[in-house]
């Protein structure tokens, strides 16, 4: 057993030694290409220091420790604005699911390359007509009877970091003649393969880390299939479970409660600090209480993983509530600051600026499952309520009206 206090202390010391070179201030004014290069150097330094893949098996380039140690490191790291966002999807979902399904050798090489920041993976799930309802996707995978290769045609949307990715995991419809959940198959794809076109999409905050991705007769061998033919929905659900428990920040990537307290102490009204106003203290306290509850849910899930069992659907609660909580606190802090609260800073991030946090929160409420889908999951799988009426249940996909 690792002494968690000693581990966290050592991790904090290592992290503090990297702030000047890789932290928030070191990134200011960098071009996107320069920032990505800085991020790759930071991940390489993490890998050499033994802080990459903390809970991954040693044979896959990890440290073989528990999710508890990973959580301890992540909660120290997240405070300083290191350039890790380019790799969060890659290391959070695609590479872990690839490690579960692909044969040894190649996957270890890819895992180490991802941990070092040399390679990036993306996750190709959502489509124009299939966002939260993943089973409604229309990207087709047709198998060539001559050699067993699969030919992909279709479009994916909102794919984070696809423009930087070397590889991606993708779910496609391999059989339209069966019910929509049963006709899907899961693959990995080379993002530089002929026929793959990536087009960035600019979001409201001005960033363009999400993309449209088009597949035009993209040929991939059957060896790039993860799981059984027709079993792609199940593999996708495994991936989403990993995603729901990969978040380590109870503030859901917004400014911290400590930042809210500091700002409310700095701001004044009628000559008095706003923190002396009971209404301000009450709003911040409610947000803190919610974050503490979310941290408990996350901790419970990590203990389940540590015990070798799969967490349940409570990850839907964490995802649903955390971003809403961040959005409410960001809006409140903008309100109490007044006109200066809505001044736009192009260099700011959602971790250090309330306006940027508020403007980017709606994206977080859609990514990884929209609020409505999460509410259904909570109702059906946690509360045991009956399913919504589904007129397409059991109907072959090609018979569902478009």
Active site residues: 243
How far apart CA 100 and CA 114 sit, in angstroms, is 15
Task: Assess contact for 381 and 312: CB atoms under 8 A.
Answer: yes
Is residue 154 classed exposed, middle or buried when 0-12, 13-18 and 19+ CB atoms within 10 A define those classes? buried
CA distances from 16 to 5, 13, 78, 144 (A): 16, 5, 12, 54
Residue 200 β-bridge partners: 211
Dihedrals phi, psi of 105, to nearest 5 degrees: 95, -85
Residue 184 β-bridge partners: 173, 231
- HSE at residue 370, side-chain half, CA atoms within 13 A, is 7
How far apart CA 378 and CA 375 sit, in angstroms, is 5
């Amino acid at each position: 057993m690792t002494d968690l206090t000693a581990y966290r202390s050592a991790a904090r010391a290592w992290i503090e030694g990297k702030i000047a070179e890789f932290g928030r201030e070191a990134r200011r004014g960098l071009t996107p290409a320069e920032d990505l290069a800085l991020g790759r150097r930071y991940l390489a330094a993490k890998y050499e220091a033994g802080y990459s893949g903390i809970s991954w098996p040693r044979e896959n380039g990890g440290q073989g420790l528990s999710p508890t140690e990973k959580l301890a490191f992540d909660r120290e790291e997240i405070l300083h604005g290191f350039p890790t966002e380019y790799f969060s999807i890659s290391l959070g979902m695609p590479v872990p699911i690839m490690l579960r399904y692909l044969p040894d050798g190649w996957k270890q090489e890819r895992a180490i390359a991802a941990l070092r920041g040399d390679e990036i993976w993306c996750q190709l799930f959502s489509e124009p007509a299939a966002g939260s309802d993943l089973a409604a996707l229309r990207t087709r995978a047709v198998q060539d009877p001559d050699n067993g290769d699969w030919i992909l045609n279709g479009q994916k949307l909102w794919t984070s970091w696809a423009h930087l990715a070397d590889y991606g995991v993708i779910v496609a419809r391999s059989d339209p003649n069966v019910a929509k959940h049963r006709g899907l198959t899961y693959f990995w794809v080379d993002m530089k393969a002929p026929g793959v076109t990536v087009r960035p999409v600019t979001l409201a905050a001005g960033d363009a880390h999400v993309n449209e991705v088009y597949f035009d007769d993209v040929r991939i061998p059957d060896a790039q299939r993860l799981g059984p033919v027709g079993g792609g929905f199940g593999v996708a659900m495994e991936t989403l479970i990993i995603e729901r428990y990969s978040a380590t920040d109870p503030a859901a990537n917004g400014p911290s409660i400590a930042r809210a307290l500091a700002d409310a102490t700095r701001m004044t009204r009628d000559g008095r600090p706003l923190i002396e106003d009971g209404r301000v203290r009450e709003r911040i306290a409610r947000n803190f209480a919610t974050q503490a509850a979310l941290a408990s849910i996350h901790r419970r899930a990590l203990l389940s993983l540590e015990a070798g069992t799969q967490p349940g659907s409570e990850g839907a609660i964490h995802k649903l509530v955390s971003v809403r909580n961040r959005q409410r606190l960001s809006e409140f802090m903008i309100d109490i600051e007044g006109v200066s609260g809505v001044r736009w800073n192009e260099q700011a991030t959602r971790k250090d600026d309330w306006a940027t946090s508020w403007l980017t929160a709606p994206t977080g409420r859609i990514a990884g499952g929209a609020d409505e889908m999460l509410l259904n999951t909570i109702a059906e799988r946690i509360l045991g309520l009956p399913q919504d009426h589904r007129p397409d249940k059991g109907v072959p996909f090609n018979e569902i009206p478009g």
